[in-house]
Amino acid sequence: MGFKDIFKKSFIQGFTRYDATPENIIVVFLIASVFALYIFFAYRLLTRRTFYSKSFNIALPALVLITAGVILTIQSSVVISLGMVGALSIVRFRTAIKDPMDLVFLFWAISTGIICGAGLAQISCVLAFILTVALFVLDRLPVAKAPKILMVSGNSYELEKSIMALVQKYCKTFAVKSRALSNGKINLVVEIRASDDSALLQEVAALENVVSSTILAHDGEVTY
């Protein structure tokens, strides 16, 4: 046996330190399952209801278990780990991420699977606690108030001046988003941040030639 054979044997054996007994494997998957369920319920409670996806939420616990299994397999042999890296490198994911929070939970699930597979469950516990508190606090932090949309339809072009006068009365900031004129009728859409939505809507509806007036709220992005 030459020096190269000894070096290769020692190098490969250096990556086979994990005791992959059935008991250890079962314990790892049980711990990973607990954290997977925790991530499942955390996503359901913390995510925006508008963008909630049940299939994505179910995929998160599965991703934790799959990643833990991959890490357990990689620890058994460096040859298998290199082969698995090559196999996973050809996988392409084309699912669009609708909400940035989905990306946070996706990396959380993958990281938890890696940590549990490596036998460091205490790190997963600390990570889950800190991340949950951070997401809960930041989600309820009043950073900015989303604007609302005022939609008015009327039978006279002259209505715009009266409507904008009322908007200036109740709003410090506003922006006209759409203005449509057709056959003597007007459709006006204004982005507003009103001090009193109800009073503004009542005064707009009381204007002469106003056919309909609506204020819509949305959970979209907040711009400054």
**pLDDT attached to residue 7:** 41
Instruction: Please determine, for residue 94, whether its predicted confidence score (pLDDT) is greater than 70.
Output: no
Residues of the chain with CATH 3.30.70.1710: 148-217
- Strands (DSSP E) found in 61-156: 148-154
Instruction: Please determine, for residue 50, whether its predicted confidence score (pLDDT) is greater than 50.
Output: yes
Instruction: Please determine, for residue 9, whether its predicted confidence score (pLDDT) is greater than 60.
Output: no
Distances (CA, A) of 127 to 56, 57, 58, 120, 162: 21, 19, 21, 11, 56
Rounded Cα–Cα distance for residues 58 and 117 (Å): 20
* Residue 180: pLDDT band with limits 50, 70, 90: confident
Instruction: Please determine, for residue 215, whether its predicted confidence score (pLDDT) is greater than 60.
Output: yes
**pLDDT attached to residue 12:** 45
**pLDDT attached to residue 197:** 80
**pLDDT attached to residue 218:** 66
Instruction: Please determine, for residue 172, whether its predicted confidence score (pLDDT) is greater than 90.
Output: no
Distances (CA, A) of 99 to 73, 94, 219: 32, 15, 12
CATH superfamily of 148-217: BMC (bacterial microcompartment) domain (3.30.70.1710)
Average pLDDT, the chain: 78
Closest by CA to 107, choosing from 158, 163, 60, 56, is: 60
* C-alpha triplet 24, 30, 31: angle, nearest 5°: 90
Rounded Cα–Cα distance for residues 81 and 72 (Å): 10
Q: In the block, which residue shows the tokens 């298998």? A: 80
**pLDDT attached to residue 127:** 92
- Check the CA dihedral 72-74-75-77 and report its sign: positive
Distances (CA, A) of 149 to 125, 166, 174, 188, 201: 43, 14, 10, 10, 11
Q: Which residues neighbour 56 within 8 Å (Cβ) at sequence distance 6 or greater?
A: 102
Three-state secondary structure readout of 168-223: HHHEEEEEEEEEEEECCEEEEEEEEEECCHHHHHHHHHCCCCEEEEEEEECCCCCC
